[in-house]
Structure 1
Amino acid sequence: MDIHEFLELPHRFRWGGVGGDDCLTFPASWAARVTGTDPAEEYRGTYRDREEAQEILRLFGGSLGLMEHQLALVGAVRVHQPTTGDIGLIRAMTGDTRDERIEAEIGAIRFGPLWACIHPAGVRATKAEFIAAWRLPA
């Protein structure tokens, strides 16, 4: 499966990554398709909302620590110039409504010059600053 086929699949936003994905399980689902191993497997279904997700992030010192640890499990390596199919941690605006929009760290997948990420309304591709990026093994 290539990135285009993956992004065309029906995606739903679901905290905990069961029956859908959230902002960190979405790129993990892509990694699972590419490598055959789900880097988020041990956490899927263990949280149901943003607050419970934050508890897991605190264990790793934040999103970067969690992604670094979990992506190492599938052999991903850090890159400085991400290309299509790479996984990234980006800074982007998020929230269910305009009144709740906040800047957040979000897991995403590089798609040309954009980053694809999951949102309550579905998959969105956006320009964004990346904090870190990883290349999955072929």
Structure 2
Amino acid sequence: MTLHDFLALPHRFRWGGVGGDDCTTFCGTWLQESAGVDPAEKYRGTYSTAKGAHDILARAGGVVACAAAALEPAGCKRVQHPQDGDVGVVKAPSGLDGEAKEICAIRFGPLWALLSPSGVVAKKVDHVAVWRAPGGDHKE
């Protein structure tokens, strides 16, 4: 499945990645479709609210630490220069107040695609950390 095909699917926001995805499991679903690994597998169904998600992230030491702990054992490599299809943690406006928060997203051209309650949104935001899936067809 191409990244374009994946982003065009009718994504549904659901905390915990059951019956849909949240911003973190969205990246796991992309990696499952594109590389055959699901780094979010052990988290799917273990929470169903924003508080549940935030509790998991806090226990892991934050979004970047949680992403690294899930992605690196799945064979993803940390890279400095994001390319299409890479997953990462970005700083993006979130919630009703629009405060910038660290969330997981997928690199799509010069933008980052993320899943919000209203669906997939592509934004030009700054990345904090980036990983490339195993077997990625581009080199760092």
Place the TM-score, normalised by the shorter chain, in its bin. over 0.9
**Which 4+ residue blocks in structure 1 deviate beyond 6 angstroms?**
none
Q: TM-score, normalised by structure 1?
A: 0.94
Structure 2 matches for 1:76-115, cutoff 5 A? 76-95=76-95, 97=96, 100-115=97-112
Structure 2 matches for 1:54-133, cutoff 5 A? 54-95=54-95, 97=96, 100-133=97-130
Structure 2 matches for 1:4-83, cutoff 5 A? 4-83=4-83
Contact preservation (8 Å) 1:35, 1:74: no
The alpha carbon displacement at 1:54 in A equals 1.2
Contact preservation (8 Å) 1:77, 1:136: yes
What is the percentage of aligned positions where both structures have the same residue?
Answer: 50
Quick one: distance in 1 between partners of 2:123 and 2:28?
Answer: 19
Instruction: Structure 1 unaligned segments of length 5 or more: list them.
Output: none
Quick one: distance in 2 between partners of 1:31 and 1:118?
Answer: 15
Instruction: Tell me the matched-pair count.
Output: 135
Quick one: distance in 2 between partners of 1:55 and 1:10?
Answer: 28
* Corresponding residue SS for 1:55: helix
The alpha carbon displacement at 1:59 in A equals 1.9
Q: CA RMSD in A?
A: 1.0
